[in-house]
Amino acid sequence: MYFSCSICVFIIPSLFQSFTFSSGDVLVTPPPFTINQTALLQYLSLGNITIDLPALYVFGDSFVDPGNNNFLNTSIKSNYTPYGIDFEGMPSGRTTNGRTVVDFIAQVVGLPFPPPALDVSEAKKNSRTGVNYGSASGGILPSPPLVENLFGHVLSMDEQIAFFENTTKDLKCQFNNAESFAQHLSKSLFFFHVGGNDLGLYWDLERHSNYSAQKYSQLLIDELSMQLQKLYELGVRKFFVNNVSPMGCQPYSIVVEKPKTTQCVEEMNARIVNFNKQIPPLLSHLQSTLPGSKFVLGDLYKIYEDVFASPASYGFTNVKKSCCIDPFRNQTRPCAPNVEPCKERNQHVFFDPYHPSENMHFVIARRFLKDSSVSSPINLLQLIQS
């Protein structure tokens, strides 16, 4: 089950963090679906630390969507097998074979998986422990007309925030006084994964003809800044903000663009890096101007780079090809319905041509939690415990 620590590549950054790695930290399979919190903390070599997080709220796109799009008039849905094959065989809308990074975080902190906000009865029932507003194909900006015409309507960040505002109205009634309500929100974790569609799908199909890359990047940062401030005004204090992954290395981009001299589509990655560079100054500015706030960056881009540089040490043998089979069999479309995916799912970084496998989600979750070289200025566990 375990690699020995001598080949563990992220042992060096771990020297600079509060939780030290013990041998056997490089796990090559995700934990069992039904694992309990105690056993999972042990699996992650986190001993018996105490965690007291009231709730986990999630915003973003297909990376985290647990099925919101199933309730929308859009063709972007992953509600069929092989999606969910390792989620007790149930396709939920998640764009992967099993749990996502936020599902793993929920299990680590001992909370239910945050349900889709649009599954109204579930969302109401779980409003006190967390709700997920993520919508596949959603962005910082609303999807441009061409994208909306092609794929239908999905939830933009502004709409997700509007739904959360309604959640807070429901929630308020569940607390005795304004103080305990404010305490609940300020202690809860807010997880963001957004920007990839703005820089990928929206840019490719339409926005490139409306903006220069530089202007567009600035527009996205300005919008994101307003969105995070709006959430602060609603009472949010603990923000965990992912940057955008190197989408120029996803199977889809490689197959479509066929880079000649490099492994990945460098033009796309350069656009992403240019955007990502503006996130740390944004977050430190927000933290210094909004009293009581904590903004932490999840450096997703770096985690992918580390995995690509040293796949075996994370248990991966395949970093370039999708595990599932798409209708064209050339990795240019989401998985074809009811076609058996590859057997060695844990060894693939990508489950479909755009999205990580459950095991990659698990790698991301455990590095965010423990490793301040990819979660700064503090690791996710420290943010949770703060």
Ligand X SMILES: *[C@@H]1O[C@H](CO)[C@@H](O)[C@H](O)[C@H]1NC(C)=O
What is the rounded (10 degree) CA torsion for 323, 325, 330, 334?
-90
Any contact of residue 289 with ligand X (CB under 6 A)? no
Please, which residue, 61 or 306, has the CB nearer to ligand X? 61
Give the number of other Cβ atoms within 10 Å of residue 172's Cβ: 15
Residues binding ligand X: number (CB under 6 A): 18
- Site of tokens 């490139």: 208
Q: Which residues are catalytic?
A: 62, 352, 355
Is 152 a binding residue for ligand X by CB under 6 A? The answer is yes
Q: Spell out the residues 6+ positions from residue 210 whose beta carbon is closer than 8 angstroms to its own.
A: 216
Cα–Cα distance, 220 to 214 (Å, whole number): 10
Report the distance separating Cα 30 and Cα 18, nearest Å. Answer: 23
Q: Which of 57, 22, 61 lies closest to 43, judged by CA?
A: 22
Candidate residues 20, 23, 166, 317; the one interacting with ligand X per rule CB under 6 A: 166
State the distance between the two ends of the chain, measured CA to CA, in whole angstroms: 33
Rg (the chain; Cα; Å): 20
Candidates 39, 90, 120, 339; binder of ligand X (CB under 6 A) is 39
Least spacing, CB of residue 209 vs ligand X, in Å = 4
Binding track over 253-272 against ligand X, x by CB under 6 A: --xx----------------
* Cross-strand pairs, 302: none
CB-CB contact of 270 with 294 (8 Å): no
Closer by beta carbon to ligand X, 89 or else 145: 145
Nearer to ligand X, 154 or 194 (CB): 154
Of 231, 87, 258, 222, the C-alpha closest to 165 is 231
> Shortest approach of ligand X to residue 287 CB, angstroms?
28
Q: Which is nearer to ligand X, 48 or 121 (CB)?
A: 48
Output the smallest distance, CB 255 to ligand X, in A.
Answer: 5
Q: Is 206 in the site for ligand X (CB under 6 A)?
A: yes
Shortest Cβ 328–ligand X spacing (Å):
3
- Binders of ligand X among residues 305 to 334 (CB under 6 A) are 328, 330, 332
Residue facing ligand X at closest CB distance: 328
Please enumerate in sequence order all residues whose Cβ is within 8 A of that of 83, keeping only pairs 6 or more positions apart, or say none. Answer: 91, 92, 93, 94, 95, 96, 97, 335, 352
Q: Is 162 in the site for ligand X (CB under 6 A)?
A: yes
Contact call for residue 18 and ligand X (CB under 6 A): no
Distance separating alpha carbons of residues 110 and 264, to the nearest angstrom: 38
* Among 20, 22, 210, 317, contact with ligand X (rule: CB under 6 A): 210
Q: Which of residues 50-79 bind ligand X (CB under 6 A)?
A: 73
Residue 75 beta carbon to ligand X: minimum distance, rounded to whole angstroms: 7
Residues that bind ligand X (CB under 6 A): 36, 38-39, 47-48, 73, 152, 162-163, 166, 206, 209-210, 255-256, 328, 330, 332
